[in-house]
Each structure stands twice: as C-alpha cells, then as structure tokens.
Amino acid sequence: MGRKAVFLIGFAALPIRGALYTLSDNPYYLVGVQLMDGIGAAIFGVLSVLVIADLTRGTGRFNFTQGVVATATGLGASLSNGITGFIVQRAGFNVAFLFLAVVAAFV
C-alpha cells in the first residue's frame, strides 16, 4: 500500500472518530475511539515528514516547509478549540463533535 492510501486512511479516521464520540459516554468505548485518534496521529506524524521530503527533494526547503505545515496545524488546533468551545457552550458536546467531523470530512 502506498503513502497516499495510508494518508487517506489517516484522513478518513478523523470524521469517523468525531461521529463515533457522539454515540456513547461509556469510558471504555471512548478510550477505544481515542485509540483511533492515536492511529491517525501516528500516520500523520510519520507520513507528513515523508511527503514533505518528497515534495522538497533537492530544493533546500525541507525545514521551511515542515515549519509551514506545523504552523498550519497549530493554527487549526487553536481555531478548533476556540470554535468548538463556543459550540459546546451553546449546543453541547455532541453537536461540537459532529461539527468537527463535518469539518474534517470537507477539509
């Protein structure tokens, strides 16, 4: 299986995980769903570096590109916390998780 296919599996895990959080509040179930998050994070952590290396090979821009990706990831995480915090206050956790799942599916 190639890098693109594995990367797509990691991306597919995000919206599925967001939707699964809304189905139960059982702690054992939630830990199982969080394991899916760990698998997705591992895929992104390894493959993003490999993809950046492929894209920047011979250009001398590996560190710069990796910094741009890390900055975009940090901005996304910050916006995610702020926006979903507002949604949780107004509509509850289930709506917030579904919102994140929809955003992950379309972005």
C-alpha span between 55 and 79 (Å, rounded): 27
- What is the predicted pLDDT for the residue at 59? 94
pLDDT tens track for 12-54: 888 998 899 999 999 999 999 998 888 888 888 899 999 999 9
Residues with Cβ < 8 Å from 97, sequence gap 6 or more?
18, 19, 21, 22
pLDDT tens track for 86-107: 999 999 999 999 999 999 888 7
C-alpha span between 61 and 67 (Å, rounded): 10
* Side-chain-side CA neighbours of residue 37 (13 Å): 13
Q: Which amino acid is at 23?
A: L
